Amino acid sequence: MDGGAVHLAHSDEYFLDGTIRLEFDDSEGKSIAIIGSGKSAPGGDYGRSVPSVSNEWPRIVGTRRTSDFGEGGNTFIRIEKGVANLTLSKLRLEKFNTVVSVGSRKRSTQPVTADIADLDVDYAREVISIFGPDKNARLSGWSIRRIHAQGISKRLLRAEGLSNSTVEDVYADSMSRRGVHYKNDWAFLLHFNGPSHDIQVNRFIGKNPAQEQEKYANGDCFSCENQTENISLRNVMCFYPMDSGFDIKGKNHTVTNAAVFNFGNRAFRVWNGPVHFDNIIAAYSGFGDRVSDARGSNAGLWTKGETSVRNYTSLNNDAPIMIDEGGSIKVEDSIYMLTRGFLHNTLSPVFEADGKYEEGNVIRKREDGEADTHFPRDDDPQIMRGFNITSNIVNEKGAGFLGFQGQR
């Protein structure tokens, strides 16, 4: 293949037992496109992020066996060198270790941009793996849109050295369409590593990330490691993470219109900061496969860094806030609530070590009467309008999670 575009026919099925390696001796770089037939998928809305896929798209099947919970299977496309731009769209992809691989810690690559859209992926270890050359953020201008992926055992996106890029309208679930829950070590569905910066994520749902081996109960929906900066996560949701919904170690990140439900340890976790949250909800902690028994470990928001939050609802969590050594947090216009039947501890922040807590217009409420406390699902209409048990407070006091309605 010497550059150019490949168009795959309507509804055809292809089997690939190797890897498409893109390697050219071209200093300017080739433009490569692999495009299927059919229409593009409608995008998600209001944080739902469930793009509709099409049976018209051609189907490509790899070698990953359904019993491979670890490293097995082939890679669909690996960019080696001499590629300036990759376009990939309107494809159904099944049974791959990795769909798109660019660079590695041992193998650098030239700068490359990409437009990846309208993919339906079932059963892969990773969908997109990006390593910038020499650990510098020289891979920029990536657009990743309208991806529906199930059976993802490790990551939907791993980006180490990515900048000035967008991720929009994505649904990523570790549960396959066949109902098998695939697990892997360090399962982070959306994973940014340093020195990634200036990335916009909008309308993303993550579900069921889980650790495979008997160690720390890992499994996060969104992870921003050290040396990441200026990443915006907006209209994002996480269901059933074994560990955390959001694990943030970088600085100057913002999370807006976000929800974490039925999590194992902490819904939102900040290590350094500053990090700002606006309009978020953490609900029903301690429902992971293995969780800590330590008081406050299942907190809605844990911080060891500099954090601020507005319009936060903590519902039926072990503690609304947990502050570790050196952590500081300012909370405004928020609700801390416990309802009958949930054996959690406190409506006050928990201090694991010295830290700073400041609040303004924070409402604490213990609901002893009847309340609608069913566990929310990703198609739950309550998510769209806020919870019934908190809606009156939200309407009257202007405090707490405001729901996703009208948000873009």
- Assess whether pLDDT exceeds 50 at residue 288: no
3-state secondary structure (DSSP) of residue 371: coil
Are 221 and 206 within 8 A, CB to CB? yes
Cβ atoms within 10 Å of 212's Cβ, excluding its own: 17
β-bridge partners, 145: 117, 168
End-to-end CA separation in angstroms for the chain: 40
User: Residue 393 region, left (φ>0) first, then alpha (ψ -120 to 50), else beta?
Assistant: alpha
pLDDT for res 367: 81
3-state DSSP call for residue 13? strand
Average pLDDT, the chain: 84
Preceding omega of 320 cis (within 30 degrees of 0): no
CB count within 10 Å of CB 249 equals 22
pLDDT at 405 exceeding the cut of 80: no
Burial of 339 (0-12, 13-18, 19+ CB in 10 A): buried
pTM for the full predicted model:
0.92
Per-residue pLDDT tens digits for 66-92: 665 566 899 999 998 889 999 999 999
Select the more confidently predicted residue: 38 or 51.
38
**64's tokens:** 């990953």
Identify the burial level of 301 via C-beta atoms within 10 angstroms of its C-beta, where 0-12 means exposed, 13-18 middle and 19 or more buried.
buried
